[in-house]
Structure 1
């Protein structure tokens, strides 16, 4: 059995909790993550080492293959950017733990001003995945889903659940490629999501005014806006899952099918 470092996929504090299994001649290992207390049931799983096919199954949406009925997430508050169609498209690509709940707006430049530090402060008590949507002055709409809240950090953080997306010329989602772990990094002067070879998938300055988008190794994305250098018209973020929401049957079907797909891929021999 080969030993893998659980930190290599961005999961934190797994070392004392992880048991690894080599499944025959499979291409990957499944990591079962326990809570550390015997009375608690199995909570989640992650992947320590994976083939490209299994990685895509874990971190990309399986909704299209399931042919689910369009679902419109409930929204608490108002959005100046996201249409109902936008919300339906994004919903199909959310990580399972962010699905099926009321979306609540945490930060908006219209309400809270153009300040990265203000956005950090609004995010300080949010633990769920964060959806950040940008409309530039040419009315292009694009953004990112981060696996955790945004914060000031000297190092990159986050997991492979993070992704980039754009709505034009057609809706496109860019999931983690597995090439590096440069998911999110921010300080008081700028915020970067995705990086590699000196390029950033999405970069914003400290005033949330000027931004840049380039192809990057983390997500293998095309630029999210026709103009790589753009000016922010409106930014909204933190459409987090409300604790008052309830998971619907479509979410459960999607999550179960994705788990089964991943297990089949892991058990399959080359």
Structure 2
């Protein structure tokens, strides 16, 4: 990649979850068309837009391309979901790398967007990533959709920051 990913539409006083370093590492795992993108725009941030799942849905609904959901828990673990050629992924700060969990084809439980929660991946009574409507409590378990490991050290976690990003081509 020739130049670092430019992250736009985030106010300077907004807490950062997705960094340029993480965005550039993500490029390697994207479909070819999106590897060429040089800019991502912030569609929603807990810090910038308020704590509301309905606001998240409203802010992201008119996005034509894929989205990247970025979650930071109370222990500074950062995990993600990429919608379009779906996969879950998590950032390993120590190794400065991303671990991806791609769709297995075992089921079609990619994303479930309800007024009370959002769930990503599933099967056998568990979700790869689940967040409540207040975007404060989350769960992560290994699930058949992605054959992922848990994205956080404990199954239940406190969501302290969340961002949704789109691509500018």
Q: TM-score, normalised by structure 2?
A: 0.89
| Alpha-carbon distance in 2 for matches of 1:209, 1:70 | 37
Structure 1 equivalent of residue 34 of structure 2: 98
Deviates more, 1:69-78 or 1:93-102: 69-78
Structure 2 equivalent of residue 122 of structure 1: 59
Displacement of 1:72: 2.3
Q: Does 1:75 align with 2:7?
A: yes
Of structures 1 and 2, the one scoring higher in RCO (CA 8 A, sep 6+) is 2
| Alpha-carbon distance in 2 for matches of 1:83, 1:236 | 11
Equivalent position SS for 1:179? coil
Show CA shifts across 1:212-264 (max 9, x none): 00000000000001121011111000x2122xx4xxxxxxxxxxxxxxxxxxx
In structure 2, list runs of 5 or more residues that go unmatched.
Answer: none
Q: How does 1:187-226 map to 2 (within 5 A)?
A: 187-226=114-153
Displacement of 1:100: 2.1
| Cα RMSD after superposing both structures | 1.6
Structure 2 equivalent of residue 241 of structure 1: 167
Structure 2 equivalent of residue 176 of structure 1: 103
In structure 1, list runs of 5 or more residues that go unmatched.
Answer: 1-68, 148-160, 246-270
Displacement of 1:71: 5.3
Count of aligned pairs between the two proteins: 161
Contact 2:117–2:132 under 8 Å retained in 1: yes
| Alpha-carbon distance in 1 for matches of 2:44, 2:19 | 17
The structure richer in strand per residue is 2
| Alpha-carbon distance in 2 for matches of 1:203, 1:219 | 14
Structure 1 equivalent of residue 77 of structure 2: 140
The structure richer in helix per residue is 1
| Alpha-carbon distance in 2 for matches of 1:97, 1:184 | 22
Deviates more, 1:99-108 or 1:70-79: 70-79
Equivalent position SS for 1:200? coil
Displacement of 1:84: 2.7
Equivalent position SS for 2:151? coil
Moved >4 Å (runs of 4+): none
